[in-house]
Every structure is written in structure tokens, then in C-alpha cells.
Chain A
């Protein structure tokens, strides 16, 4: 199976609704946002993915105007909003803590943005009821916020952020604190809302599964920089650099030098191990490069079966994980043991094995592409 990028969302033909160019935010000598360029298309569901402290929430706050930026520009529908205060940006935002007003009823919480816009009383009642319908929570308008379950609070927060039809909805890890089942339910809810409502969503998460499941496109962040933007599948199969490869899924990243010989390109480790990489990747001969090999792409066999090809090694760790068995294999010439996810898991600890993989599953990145 060759990697295919996910079908491009229909929205992509339209011009960007929202654009960050060269945005910088620094705290002292440290850049929390380091020259980030990003274009979001209308109706897109975009996710910023990264470890904590990578600057993804900072970008969201800059977009909302909750923090100022030190350089670059920020435009919404072609209008530079750098000097527009938060309350005039007309952006919806859901916080990780949800930030529902504890002194107000559900109705008053959702009516709040409409009252701030001085909408007529009758319209407010109608639109609050409508938005409670959209998040499938009718009949709770008069409750107090603390009387609701976690999932209901999530929905109320979403309803409040959507009731005034903002062009852009920002989600600052609102699902981060939920347990797994509720989180999956809310993910589906967000996908459903996105399909039903004309809204562009920027979501922030450190959960790669959430990012890939939800999003049209994902941007991976590290240390204030946007490392790569693309569909989840592109990021997973064709990472732009070592960080993205290592961050997503369970990959073996093997450093070495790229050599092109009769058998095609391969990464040769300092220890002399040779890992053939896909010819699709154009890296000049002699460059320092990293081969990226997914744990689930490696086939493992007990040697002597057929004098088989591939790398020889020894099982140093075997962990039963349920749907797969996780192995670590010490391979001579490769510093770090290789990680293998095996479905059968018959091979015991300490066994000598041979590892093989389809060459076109092995991606490579040049060393200085970390940016």
C-alpha cells in the first residue's frame, strides 16, 4: 500500500479566511511563537498538534487577541486584526477549563455573547434555544452550570462559543481533561458540528489520535516553530523532519549517512548497518540523514527459516499490549534498539530474529531539515 494523501477538502480552492505570517511572540530571549506562517481555509478543521510548551496554545491566544504579538501579521478575512481588541474580533473560543460562568444559569451563559452584542430580548431566547438544540441539550437552560455533567458542560461551552455565529472557532484543548470514552464522544460531536455549521475551526491538542481523526489538516509544532502542515496521513507517512517522525506514532529513527549505490538509496549507520530507503526520497549522496521506520511496518522472523534477508538482531524486550505485542530488538550497528509492533507475538524474549520491511515504507529526512 503506497501512502496516499487524504482527499483534499473541498474548501481548499477558496482563499484563506485566516492568515498568520511571520508571527513572533517572545518572552525574554525565548520565542514562544517563532516566525509562524499559516493559512486556514474557510470551513476547514485545522489542528495544531505538539507537546506541551510547544507554543500551540500561545498561537491560539494570539489569534484571539488575548496576548499581543511582537512581529508579523494576523489577518481575518483579509483584515489585519493585530490592533483589534479581543472583544471586537468576533472569534469563538472554548477553553480547556471551559470557563463557564459559575454565577449564571446555562441560559445566561449562552445568552452572554448575545447580550454583549445588545441583541433584542426575543432573539436571544430563540437563538439560545436553537444553539442548545444544535449541541443536543434541550431542556437544561435553567440549570446552574455546576449541576451539569462534564459532557454537558462541554456542550454548553460549545453552544456559547457558537451562538453568535463566529467565523472562527478556537478550541484550546477542551477535551484534554476528559476520560477516554467521553473524549471520543466529544470528538465525534465536534466533527458533526463542523459538518452541520458553517464555521472554521482551529483545534489545539497534544493527542495525535485526536488530531488525525478530527482534522482536515494538522500542523505539528515544536519549540514555537511550525514544523510541518499537512493531512494526518502525509505527516505520518512523509514527515518533513526527525521531530515530526518521532512525535507521531511509534517510529524508529536511525541516524546515519545517505548512500546511493546500485541497490538504490540507503542510510548507513556509523556502526555499519544498512537501511534501504524509498527511492521516492531525493537526498543527495553523502548527506547526513535519518531513516524513519514505523514499528508496525517491520516484519520479524526467526532466522534459519530460509536463510532470509534483512537485519539480524536479538529480542531484548517483549511487552503484551493487547492488540499487538511490542518488541525491542538489539541490532548490531544501530545504537538504539529497534521497536517492532507484532500482531502475532509468538517470538519469545531473547530469541535471535531477522527483521525485514518493504523498502518503500522507509522514509528518510536530511539532518538539517529540523529547521
Chain B
């Protein structure tokens, strides 16, 4: 059975050395042994990861620490310990933070908008925050990014009158303004309908050319369609790093169907055909199925007690 990257047991201590994610270019982001706690909760526990140009997906359930890691890399918060570099700069120093911020595009999980702003005014406001002080050049750049995200004809509309998908695109435009080299997108497809999600994915794929993009999501479809690399985070720890194909291969030979729920399965759920799809260690003679990325993701998480049909 082909298992390119063996799963670490849930209880095993992860390696302190960064796990390089396969990449065609040198890593532009390197995180090593990063730990951060909020009050009594350890949000990140000795996280190590490296990635380069292209889109890297960060998969994980709610509360896995994805947003915390993204906020650290976006210089919004500082970790308690560990080493990290972004585009060759250390975000723990004043100068390093400034250099990273000049090259950063950030779309938070819940981007806040000034309610009275139009799409143009909001992106213009973010451009001002990005130190674009020349009015003419700034407005030209704002028009460019709004055209890029397909809102060229809606730039005069108030954000409060736009749909959820359009607001996400306004947020993406704000992230893209200034032509950043490192783009951080925190669950950008949440709340979008399938068509909006598809269009948003297209946009992200187009804008990723020549840039380092880190995309946090808990939707495996996003990773399958967009990412050439993926990391799975759970309970503040990195559970897997590799390509989406390698993540799906984790479940090779470990997915089977049955007419009854299999008590020995790590997780199982009833499908539309009425059969049960099980993941774990199949019993002898089980009808093994082709694995999907989601199967690999669920196995990478280890504890899948929440998945039961």
C-alpha cells in the first residue's frame, strides 16, 4: 500500500523540525516550533511547516488553530515561542513586520467593512492603509483590483447593498490591492453558494500566479480544486503535510462500503445509495472503495468520533 507520509499517532509528539511541503520553488514561509496559548488554551503546539509559491491549503476542523497560525503569519499576533520567517523577514522584529506588511494581502475570516463605504471607497481606504498616498495611482490600482475580482461595474455600490459573495470579492480586492507577494485567505468560501464558490476559486487560482498564497479552509473541495500543497492542522498540531494526492492516498485501502454500519470502522456514514461508507482498518473481505481527499483528511485527523452517520 502506498502511504507517502505516514500518519503520526495523535498522541505522538510531532517533530520539531519543519516539515517541508513539496514545492517547485524555495520556501518563502518557514515556521518552526511555534507555540501560542490564549489564557489556558494552547492554540498552537510546536507547529512546524514550510511552503513556497503557489497555493497551500490549510485544512482542519473548527478550533484546530488555523486562524491563529494565519494571524501569526499575517503579523496580527506574535507567538509565545518558536522561529518563523515570511519572505525572508522575521515578523517578531519591528522592521521585519513592516517589510512583511508591505508585501502582504490579508483576507480575515470575518472581514469588517465600514457600512457606509462603497466598494471603491473601502478598497481605497485599505490602499491608504497600505501607504499608497498618491491619489491618482491609488485610484488606478483600486479600479484594477475591482476589475480583477469582477466588481468593476459595482464599484460605486454601497457594501451594505452587496450580496455575501460580492462582499467576499470586495475583501479579496482589498487583499490584492498593492500587488502583494504573500496572500493569506482565512476561510474565504464560507457562506458562499456553490456558484459563488466556484467563481471565487477561479479568482484565487488566477491571482496565485507568482505569489505565495495560504488558504485556510475546512472544505476539502477547496483544496482539491485549488491547492498544490496541503497541511492538516488539528488541536494546534500539524497532522499531515504533502500534496492533495498524497493526502487522498493516506486512505488507500482504508475505505470500504457495507450494508450495515461497521462497528470496527473509525468513522462511517450512510451514503445516498443507502450503503455505509466506512474508513479505518477494513475487515477481511471488505469491499474496498477508491479513496477521496475527504477520506484522507478524516484519517489524518485521527479522532473522527464526530463523523458518524
Question: Does A associate with B in a complex?
Answer: no
Name B's A-contacting residues (CB within 8 A).
Answer: none
Name A's B-contacting residues (CB within 8 A).
Answer: none
